[in-house]
Structure 1
């Protein structure tokens, strides 16, 4: 029977959890599906190697850390199934969750991406469906989000007002989402210039520009168990997160006339970065602090191996202005891509000090 869903999961030293992921996935849908595990780890561990013994799964090993978006693109290549699911390995599906997402897609024929309700291990719902970050909202969130979490700019960006309901959003956490293959291919997949963080935000923006909606479906529930592949290096994740955010906003607001605004954003993000680094838990604190001094936008994104994970989006490339970067979005999440989702996709990474 031809699979109706292709699930792409990106791993990085995730051997001890990938089996649990596949077990929960088996209860998430009654539809035929296939799984492609893209392992960004430098070495193959026993748990990940065991994936090849699962009849529904196959393992791709690029031999280096591609980053989240690039790995997903590779895993999705050649798919014939009409539905694609991108997920972090530290996601646990509630039974029927994927069927609930596909059912929602039937209610939203113009929807290109569908995101489930994502809960933290304590049961709290993570705000995984958000508005696209504008320059003004980004400045307000960057300057005030860390010291005044309920400020109007942060609340608006995170959409934390009101009870969860099925609705459209600017973007969905890449830590777990369902996409129409047609929509994903129409926009060219993930932008591979984001190595870690913000690739899911950028995907939501491009889907919208192509007239596809991103739809939040809180009735479909998954649990994010906690930024498995990013928690080892939370300070590095913070650096990558801020760099990618700055890159994203700089690309949306180019040109000399907007340089002062980009500079203000850079200052705000740099201040937020320093405060966040002061509280981030990482044994490599001294190295991270030195790295912060080298953060100017013209620097390359955190090296694949150095980041110690594949969340969602950070990338090489130079923003328009040599000012420190930042990145909202995936919290290794709940939240992530990561994906974070990650292999966290989603511009949110749970278990780290990163949150957009």
Structure 2
């Protein structure tokens, strides 16, 4: 897959060997992630040559995978969060276990599979961009297609258009703008980066108080990227680093919960940025539209789930 190292803003000169010796930790949040977690840890070994501390923040797994990982890997620390705190809440809990002196922390889903050298590429880019608060790799789907992981921050119009129409009219102009479809695979600052795999500078993450735990799932990465930018940090896309995101194992098991969380988070993001009486009619209209859209999406997902289950039973 071709990509370019061209940049749209002048970064600091390339790192020296001494600069590359940055301390780094990895935090992942699990919720019965099964074999995905094993592959995550296995491929992480090829992502960098340096020793890496791994913290697993477990949100209530019942499959034993986090416990096995901690038993099999000396570098892994398992933290039980005490309940399902969601992605942002679980991640904040895991990062709290990392020594504050560790300069960089990887925030990642457990269903990420790293490409060789990917973490080293992110760390090298962090040295080139000293104001980068977050850096994200090129993320691919299991079939090799590129996932739009580096996007613009949605404004009220594009965000609403995408939220309401993205699933039923995939080529609509608001979704295209939100996903930044026309952008090239170049190393550059962007609006926000996918939280499925993200390297953050600890000083920047702490400066904005980490993830907003009110986002149970979805949009917490958009919110983080937006707050980092408003605090003067950059979100830098680094396509020289790549990872594959298996994704959706939790979504496919519990579509009604995940779809509801997605719509609720979309509303929260825009409502937080449009407070006060002046915007009350807009918030009301957005909430009503998303409520209808959520109901339709959940119903469709449950129908597909029942149809798939029926098909499986017939084949058995």
Structure 1 length normalisation: TM-score?
A: 0.75
What secondary structure is seen at the aligned counterpart in 2 of 1:177? strand
Report how many aligned residue pairs link the two structures. 283
1:47 aligns with 2:65: yes
Write the mapping of 1:51-130 to structure 2, written as runs, cut at 5 A.
51-53=69-71, 54-77=73-96, 78-79=98-99, 80-130=101-151
1:37 aligns with 2:45: no
Cα distance in 2 for partners of 1:46, 1:187 equals 34
Q: Which of 175, 189, 197 lines up with 2:196 in the alignment?
A: 175
Q: Which of 217, 229, 233 lines up with 1:212 in the alignment?
A: 233
CA drift at 1:182: 0.9
Write the mapping of 1:186-201 to structure 2, written as runs, cut at 5 A.
186-201=207-222
CA drift at 1:243: 0.7
Q: Which of 9, 15, 30 lines up with 1:11 in the alignment?
A: 30
1:136 aligns with 2:157: yes
What secondary structure is seen at the aligned counterpart in 2 of 1:72? helix
Cα distance in 1 for partners of 2:146, 2:91 equals 25
Hey, what does 2:278 align to over in structure 1? 257
Distance 1:142 1:50, change over 3 A: closer
Hey, what does 1:325 align to over in structure 2? none
CA drift at 1:14: 1.6
Deviation digits for residues 97-144 of structure 1, max 9, x if unmatched? 111111111221111000111111110001011111211212222343
Q: Which of 287, 290, 293 lines up with 1:266 in the alignment?
A: 287
CA contact (8 A) 1:42 1:65 kept: no
Cα distance in 2 for partners of 1:229, 1:276 equals 16
CA drift at 1:277: 2.5
Write the mapping of 1:273-284 to structure 2, written as runs, cut at 5 A.
273-281=294-302
CA drift at 1:229: 2.7
Distance 1:102 1:3, change over 3 A: closer
1:164 aligns with 2:185: yes
CA contact (8 A) 1:92 1:224 kept: yes
What secondary structure is seen at the aligned counterpart in 2 of 1:229? helix
CA contact (8 A) 2:36 2:112 kept: no
After the TM superposition, which parts of structure 1 deviate over 3 Å for at least 4 consecutive aligned residues?
281-285
- Structure in which a larger fraction of residues adopt helix: 2
Distance 1:143 1:64, change over 3 A: closer
CA contact (8 A) 2:30 2:61 kept: no
Unaligned stretches of 5+ residues in structure 1: 286-356
1:202 aligns with 2:223: yes
CA drift at 1:36: 0.3
Deviation digits for residues 208-251 of structure 1, max 9, x if unmatched? 11100111112211001122233201122111110111011111
Q: What is the root-mean-square deviation of aligned Cα atoms in Å?
A: 1.9
Cα distance in 2 for partners of 1:281, 1:116 equals 33
Cα distance in 1 for partners of 2:104, 2:183 equals 30
1:21 aligns with 2:40: yes
CA drift at 1:258: 1.1
What secondary structure is seen at the aligned counterpart in 2 of 1:230? helix
Cα distance in 2 for partners of 1:206, 1:34 equals 27
Structure ID, larger Rg: 2
Cα distance in 1 for partners of 2:186, 2:269 equals 28
CA drift at 1:22: 0.5
Cα distance in 2 for partners of 1:8, 1:149 equals 33
